[in-house]
Amino acid sequence: MRSVSSTKSFHDAAAEALQNPSLRAALDKAGAGFLTTRSRAFASLENARALTDAAQQARTRAVDGMADLLLLFEERARAQGVSVHWAETAEQARETVLALCAGKRRIVKGKSMASEEIELNKALSRTSAEVIETDLGEYIVQLAEEIPSHIIAPAVHKTRAQIDALFRHHHGGKGGESSQNRVRSSQALVEEARRVIRQKFLHAEIGITGANMLIAERGAALLLTNEGNGDLSAVMAQRHIVLAGIERIVANDRDAAAVLRVLARSATGQSLGTYVSLYGGTGDAHKDTHVVLLDNGRSAMHGGAWHDMLRCIRCGACLNHCPVYTKVGGHAYGWVYSGPMGKVLSPLLAEAGTDARLKRRVAALPHASSFCGRCVEVCPVGIPLTSLMRKLRNRHFERPESIGGWKTKLGCLCLRFLFAYPRLYRVFLALALRLLKTAARGKGHVAFLPGLGGWTKTRDFPINRRARSALALCERANRNASHTP
Amino acid sequence: MTEETPSKVAVLATCLADALRPQTVLATCTLLTRANPDNKPPALPKRQTCCGQILYNAGDRKGAALQALRVIDLFEPFQAVVVPSGSCAGMLKRHYPHLLAGTPHARRAEACAKKSWELTEFLHLHLPRKDSSRNSSQGSSHASLKDPPPLTWHDSCSCLRECNGSAACARSLLARYGFRLHEAREREVCCGFGGKFSVANSAVSTSMADDKLARLEQSGAKVVSSCDLGCLLHLAGRARRRTLPLSFFHIAELLVEQESPHRDALPQELLPIGA
């Protein structure tokens, strides 16, 4: 993958992203739109709180009863002739899908983050099959040989000019009705993509989609799309494969509806996606449907400290409202999940896998937050994202795995010691304030501070001109007052 | 006033203000003295250091819990703990009960949370509205002799999300003191401080500061104030590096500065943060 280096840390990738003017332009443009539409969608409701409460309850029921509900889903799905496959690891999931695709050459895919998670396209491309992503954003990202930078808007990091250039390159450059130099309109680009992708639908042998929910009582998968590509992927080919994480389960239609009411509102500000599709048994002898249930670390999160994260409905609201995400975009996070939810999910899922480099790359993500808390505020299912990040930090503290981790631990232990002996703390502080004042040479700030290079690289460090702490000043004032009755 | 003003009030100075901006702490004490029915200054317990937030956010939960217990012990004799910082107040109000839940100290943590106040929340309730000790020409307002400069306000994330109500309290106090507020856009967006985040993720933090500074500048005001010294140090440091014509003060300093009779509490002329 071009866009995600195999070793670069968030810190370095983010710094690089900040230097990329077209990325900044794309993010700024998309970012504002998401916020306006979402706030409008919720503001127009009389009982927004009741809706999010209901969604949270539905997801809580789903996640708490995950094991039983999954078995019920399997039973009901099988009763309709749907084949259900369990995959404990990414590798097993890939093997299952590859086996189902054996001998087939033409595969169309609807958007599926689970398939990105297990790098399904890479595995399929090693066979003789041709896989085409049919969601426009995913298609763009696929042509660019990148990974999605946003869970619901995969190509949000691309400008129209970049997409135009990409299409000209891959579609043989014949799409333009006007001069080669002018960037075509969004509509023209969409039409061209539609022409290309429609041909793929017509000849597809296998359709692969994800699922927003797996409805246990119904034994059916639910998918929300805006482009209708999910339905075409599911219906046109003879075989439909649904790939979904096990935590996509919900108990019944009512709970699915409760989630649906907040999903599109949170994601794009629509009251509902354009297409809401249910895939169960078809009753058609020439058509078979398979559901691949992906664990890949999810069941390990169940019941423990990370349980709440399983509630996530992948709406992307936390990304859109995150001041860090909106500055650097998704690729800096080093994997397919980004933003606040990615900071929690990526390290946890990576641990379950076997990719040591991925594990190292995403380990520090929970530290890349200012804890502003806006993600928690907008999460429609009440996931305490900042608390979860803090818990992950706590785990690093208990078992440091990097030099940075050891440095943090050492720093904390020193502070603990100073805090335990306030007199020593005062002596230390007095000394430090003197030194700072000397270094400032009559000014109110220093431009460089050893140990705080990360700060002083871009900011002056304000100092205390009096070189005495507030407590020291007050004590002196009290002493003076008692001497002059 | 909806509540009786507590008579035994103590100040948690916060490590940042104590060390880097004593003016904030002195001004806080001055205001709390005024808020006291007997004009009694608040206590400033000598053994205080830090609320433990730095440990908590670094992942040192045990160290933070130890520190929380020390703070709870230290402030046990007082009826109210007033904190001139939203994030430290949030630590006491929101996170101490969380940290000590399920331990024998859980109830004490709850009690501490209940009596902890972010400064402007406390002042809003307890600072007398009518100043009878002075014959102010402007009726019930505190508006002083000076014409206050146009001001813009930075809502810290902790004030917005952990001390709900603080944003309104601060604005109402500023209005009472005659400040004209020039509101900036997108006030709910973080300035990028975040403690260790500002050092460890310098580039992103700085970029967030630049966005925030641009919006503060667009407000038209040249003076920026806030309840949180962390944000102010970060923004002032960045503005200074870029030589932007903005000056930064903690709200306590501005309110005291407006009170001419109490100016002796700040013996030196009040310089902006970092100047």
Distance from CA of B197 to the nearest CA of A (A): 6
The answer, for B66 touching chain A at a CB cutoff of 8 Å, is yes
Q: What is the mean pLDDT of residues A167-196?
A: 81
**What pLDDT score does B1 carry?**
44
- Residue A72 and residue A112 share a domain: yes
- Residue A226 and residue A189 share a domain: yes
Range in A29-43, A84-98, A423-437, A460-474 with the lowest mean pLDDT:
A29-43
- Residue B164 and residue B80 share a domain: no
Last residue of a domain, one of A301, A329, A356: A301
Task: Say if B250 falls within a structural domain.
Answer: yes
Each residue's pLDDT tens digit, A203-218: 999 999 999 999 999 9
Among A35, A274, A20, CA closest to A158: A20
**What pLDDT score does B137 carry?**
41
The answer, for B49 touching chain A at a CB cutoff of 8 Å, is yes
Q: Assess contact for A483 and B39: CB atoms under 8 A.
A: no
Question: What are the backbone dihedrals phi and psi of residue B178, each rounded to the nearest 5 degrees, phi first?
Answer: 85, 10
Among A293, A353, A352, A299, CA closest to A87: A293
- Give chain B's domain count: 2
Amino acid at A179: S
Q: Helices (DSSP H) in B77-228: which residue ranges?
A: 86-90, 96-99, 106-115, 119-126, 157-161, 166-176, 197-200, 202-218
Task: Say if B130 falls within a structural domain.
Answer: no
- Residue A137 and residue A80 share a domain: yes
Q: How confident is the model at residue A353 (pLDDT cuts 50, 70, 90)?
A: confident
Report for A25-34, A293-302, A399-408: range of highest mean pLDDT = A293-302
User: For chain A, give me the number of helices (H) and strands (E)?
Assistant: 23, 12
- Residue A224 and residue A109 share a domain: yes
- Residue A318 and residue A265 share a domain: no
**What pLDDT score does A6 carry?**
60
**Distance from C-alpha of B187 to C-alpha of A86, rounded to nearest angstrom:** 47
pLDDT at A413 over 90: yes
**What pLDDT score does A347 carry?**
96
**Distance from C-alpha of B64 to C-alpha of B96, rounded to nearest angstrom:** 9
Task: Say if A14 falls within a structural domain.
Answer: no
- Residue A316 and residue A297 share a domain: no
- Alpha carbon B206 to chain centroid distance? 22
- Residue B161 and residue B100 share a domain: no
- Residue B256 and residue B168 share a domain: yes
- Residue B70 and residue B113 share a domain: yes
Last residue of a domain, one of A406, A439, A455: A406
**Distance from C-alpha of A479 to C-alpha of A474, rounded to nearest angstrom:** 9
- Residue B171 and residue B71 share a domain: no
Task: Say if B214 falls within a structural domain.
Answer: yes
Task: Say if B274 falls within a structural domain.
Answer: no
Task: Say if A413 falls within a structural domain.
Answer: no
Task: Say if A7 falls within a structural domain.
Answer: no
Question: Which tokens hold the place of A454?
Answer: 């990360």
Instruction: Judge: A18–B207 Cβ closer than 8 Å, yes or no.
Output: yes
**Distance from C-alpha of A364 to C-alpha of A379, rounded to nearest angstrom:** 22
Q: Three-state DSSP class for A363? A: helix
Task: Say if A448 falls within a structural domain.
Answer: yes
**What pLDDT score does B270 carry?**
82
- Residue A185 and residue A96 share a domain: yes
Tallying the residues shown for chain A, one arrives at: 485
Last residue of a domain, one of B97, B124, B151: B124
Q: Which helix (H) or strand (E) holds B69?
A: helix B61-75
Count of CB atoms within 10 A of residue A362's CB?
Answer: 25
Q: Assess contact for B212 and B187: CB atoms under 8 A.
A: no
Chain A residues with CB under 8 Å of B27 CB are none
Residues of chain A with pLDDT > 70, as a percent, come to 96
**Distance from C-alpha of A29 to C-alpha of A312, rounded to nearest angstrom:** 26
In this complex, which of A18, A392, A433 lies closest to B204 when CB atoms are compared? Answer: A18
Task: Say if B215 falls within a structural domain.
Answer: yes
**What pLDDT score does A483 carry?**
74
- Alpha carbon B171 to chain centroid distance? 13
Among B219, B199, B231, CA closest to B152: B219
Among B248, B63, B56, CA closest to A418: B63
- Residue A398 and residue A253 share a domain: no
Count of CB atoms within 10 A of residue A5's CB?
Answer: 15
CATH of the domain at A172: 3.40.50.10420
- Residue B261 and residue B146 share a domain: yes
pLDDT in tens, chain B (275 residues): 456 788 899 999 999 999 999 999 999 999 999 999 999 999 999 999 999 999 999 999 999 999 999 999 999 999 999 999 999 999 999 999 999 999 999 999 999 999 999 999 999 999 987 554 444 444 444 444 567 889 999 999 999 999 988 999 999 999 999 999 999 999 999 999 999 999 999 999 999 999 999 999 999 999 999 999 999 999 999 999 999 999 999 999 999 988 755 444 444 568 999 99
Question: Which tokens hold the place of A308?
Answer: 């709440």
Among A127, A38, A31, CA closest to A325: A31
- Residue A170 and residue A76 share a domain: yes
- Residue B224 and residue B159 share a domain: yes
Each residue's pLDDT tens digit, A272-293: 989 999 999 888 888 899 999 9
Instruction: Judge: B194–A468 Cβ closer than 8 Å, yes or no.
Output: no
A415 to chain B: closest CA residue: B55
**What pLDDT score does A173 carry?**
59
The answer, for B234 touching chain A at a CB cutoff of 8 Å, is yes
Q: How confident is the model at residue A7 (pLDDT cuts 50, 70, 90)?
A: confident
**Mean pLDDT of all residues belonging to chain A:** 93
User: For chain B, give me the number of helices (H) and strands (E)?
Assistant: 14, 6
- Give chain A's domain count: 3
**Distance from C-alpha of B156 to C-alpha of B83, rounded to nearest angstrom:** 14
| Region of B101 on the Ramachandran plot (φ > 0 left; ψ -120 to 50 alpha; else beta) | beta
Last residue of a domain, one of B74, B98, B124: B124
Q: How confident is the model at residue A174 (pLDDT cuts 50, 70, 90)?
A: low
**What pLDDT score does B133 carry?**
44
Last residue of a domain, one of A301, A317, A347: A301
- Residue B194 and residue B148 share a domain: yes
Each residue's pLDDT tens digit, A104-154: 999 999 989 999 999 999 999 999 999 999 999 999 999 999 999 999 899
Task: Say if A70 falls within a structural domain.
Answer: yes
* A322-361 b/e (C-beta count within 10 Å ≥ 16 → b): bbbbbbbbbbbbbbbbbbbbbbbbbbbbbebbeeeebbbb
Last residue of a domain, one of B73, B89, B124: B124
- Residue B114 and residue B176 share a domain: no
Distance from CA of A266 to the nearest CA of B (A): 18
Instruction: Judge: A459–B60 Cβ closer than 8 Å, yes or no.
Output: no
- Residue A155 and residue A289 share a domain: yes
Residues of chain A with pLDDT > 90, as a percent, come to 85
List % helix, strand, coil for chain A (3-state, nearest 5): 55, 10, 35
- Alpha carbon A336 to chain centroid distance? 7
- Residue A380 and residue A244 share a domain: no
**What pLDDT score does B129 carry?**
77
- Residue B162 and residue B88 share a domain: no
- Residue B186 and residue B89 share a domain: no
pLDDT at A32 over 90: no
Task: Say if B67 falls within a structural domain.
Answer: yes
Chain B residues with CB under 8 Å of A372 CB are 157, 161, 189-190, 194
Q: Which helix (H) or strand (E) holds A42?
A: helix A21-43
Domain that holds residue A398: 309-406
Question: Which tokens hold the place of A324?
Answer: 């860090």
Task: Say if A3 falls within a structural domain.
Answer: no
CATH of the domain at B163: 3.40.50.1860
Task: Say if A152 falls within a structural domain.
Answer: yes
Q: What is the pTM of this model?
A: 0.93
Each residue's pLDDT tens digit, A227-271: 999 999 999 999 999 999 999 999 999 999 999 999 999 999 998
Instruction: Judge: A466–B66 Cβ closer than 8 Å, yes or no.
Output: no
Domain that holds residue B79: 9-124
Instruction: Judge: B22–A413 Cβ closer than 8 Å, yes or no.
Output: no
Instruction: Judge: B204–A413 Cβ closer than 8 Å, yes or no.
Output: no
Task: Say if A79 falls within a structural domain.
Answer: yes
Task: Say if B134 falls within a structural domain.
Answer: no
Task: Say if B132 falls within a structural domain.
Answer: no
